[in-house]
Amino acid sequence: MTIQAQRLGGLSVLHYGPQALIEDAYDANRRWREIAFLVFAVGLLGMGIFTGALWVRQRLPMYGWFSLGALFGTLRIIDRAWPDIPVAWPWLGAIAGICYLSHMALMCRFSVLATGPSPRMLDRCMDAAIVLGAVLTASAFALHRPGLFTLGLMTVVPIAVACLWLCARRAWSGAGAGAWLLTLALSAAIAAGLHDLLAVRISSASGLRHTYLQHAMFAFVPIMGWLVAERYSRTAASFQRLNADLAQRVEDRERQLTAAFDAMRAQQQQQAVSDERQRIMREIHDGVGSQLVALLNMASRPETPPGALREHVQLALDEMRMAIDSMQPANDDLSTVLATLRYRLQSRLEAAGIGVMWDVMDLPELRELSPNAVMHVQRILLEAFTNVLKHAQATQITVHAHPGGEEAAAVIAITDNGRGLGPAHLPPHGGAGERYQGRGLENMRFRAGAIGATLRIEPASHGGTSVTLAFPVQPNEPRAALG
């Protein structure tokens, strides 16, 4: 056993009786004190570490001051529970005293911050009280003047009362249940502190009376836990409301976008119908209409030969059939267009004594093969076949359609074994890119340019004429589609 100057001590209430009973009572009392101090130390340290982590993540002053105050409280309790701390006296006493008053002051600061902002004047007074109390405590143990330590503890009392008044006013103003809990905890801590200060320390009651401040100060630990849980619940509820609001906004926006999309789609459909009507009207006017006008003029002249009338009637029928065929869905398939054209012309060509060999390979799909583009392709090919019927005196036509590799998406070549192009139809300088004479060939070139294709009309290698229509490679077209 050691005696340490200025350490609060003395004889406690004496119990006497049989040794076995006295030892059992003493051991039970000692275990209770040790367990209580251990629970206080573990609780304060655990909550201090937890709030310190929260302060690192969120930088809320409330968490930082509580964590620091809990650390001081833990050091103070260790002094009571660990009798052989390897720190020389009176330094141990000075450290324990400074931790004691700092723990009380910082818990008061935490209480204020937990209920709202802390006034600057109160912060300055609290800092001054902590510094003054620490100086008085260190001086008390250095100069062996215990009264200075008592005076240092008393500097915290007015600060605690001011914090209690501020918390109570905020609780009364509707700050919430947390403000009421902190007001009650501060009231209990101030009452216990005044009891320990007046009834134990100043009166030198030493071991005759128990101290209660350490028990009252532990009430801040569960309150801190409740505040963290309550803040988490409010944050979770806020996020749920925010998610519900965002979901409602997204749903409203989706409805608006759906309505706008439906309106735009309906407008596009109406525009497509209008454009298609205009195209059909234009094709009928320029194709069937012009043929019927020419036929009417020829019929009005008695000297018109029947063969010419029959030819114009056939051309009018071809124009009408092409207008109908162009409205059929081609599904981006050029082979379908060729099959339809073969169905329309095969019998007519065979009736004229011309054999046709169709050599059509697997062709890639051509995007943007619209009815207007189909009409242009049909007119180009029909003009090529009509020229063979009228001028070539051919007996055989070969239609060869194949993928174009790297240079073209697809190529259609119509070759006959007729007498070939006359001088009037050859390029002026032999170049395939020059203008050709003749209205029919000019129309073919114009239609090929309208769909972005390339048209070549040139003598065939074994006599006759070759008409080649090459479709361009489309952007981002897969290489596999090119054969």
The Cα 285–Cα 282 span in angstroms is 5
- The DSSP bridge partners found for residue 398 are 357, 415
Task: Classify each residue of 321-354 as buried b or exposed e, where b means 16 or more C-beta atoms within 10 Å of its C-beta.
Answer: bbbebbeeebeeebebbbebbbebbeeebeeeeb
Do residues 340 and 325 lie in contact, with contact meaning Cβ atoms separated by under 8 Å? yes
Per residue in 295-323, pLDDT (tens digit) is 666 777 777 777 767 766 766 776 676 66
Do residues 218 and 40 lie in contact, with contact meaning Cβ atoms separated by under 8 Å? yes
Per residue in 421-446, pLDDT (tens digit) is 765 454 444 333 333 445 678 888 88
CATH class of this structure's domain 331-483: alpha beta
DSSP states of 34-79 as a string? HHHHHHHHHHHHHHHHHHHHHHHHH--HHHHHHHHHHHHHHHHHHH
Domain ranges of the chain: 19-218, 331-483
Q: How far apart are the first and last CA of the chain?
A: 103
Taking each continuous run of H as one helix and of E as one strand, the counts in the chain are 14, 5
The verdict on pTM exceeding 0.75 is no
The Cα 316–Cα 298 span in angstroms is 14
Do residues 465 and 420 lie in contact, with contact meaning Cβ atoms separated by under 8 Å? yes
Percent residues over pLDDT 90 in the chain = 31
Per residue in 358-393, pLDDT (tens digit) is 888 888 877 667 777 877 888 888 888 888 877 888
pLDDT truncated to tens, each residue of the chain (483 aa)? Answer: 455 555 555 555 566 667 777 677 666 666 666 677 778 888 889 999 999 999 999 999 999 999 999 999 888 877 666 666 676 777 878 888 899 899 999 999 999 999 999 999 999 999 999 999 999 999 988 888 888 988 998 999 999 999 999 999 999 998 889 999 999 999 999 999 898 888 877 876 555 567 788 888 889 999 999 999 998 898 889 999 999 999 999 999 999 999 999 999 888 878 877 776 776 676 666 566 666 766 666 777 777 777 767 766 766 776 676 666 655 555 557 888 888 778 777 877 787 788 889 888 888 877 667 777 877 888 888 888 888 877 888 889 999 998 877 778 889 999 998 887 765 454 444 333 333 445 678 888 888 888 888 899 888 887 789 999 988 876 554 433 323
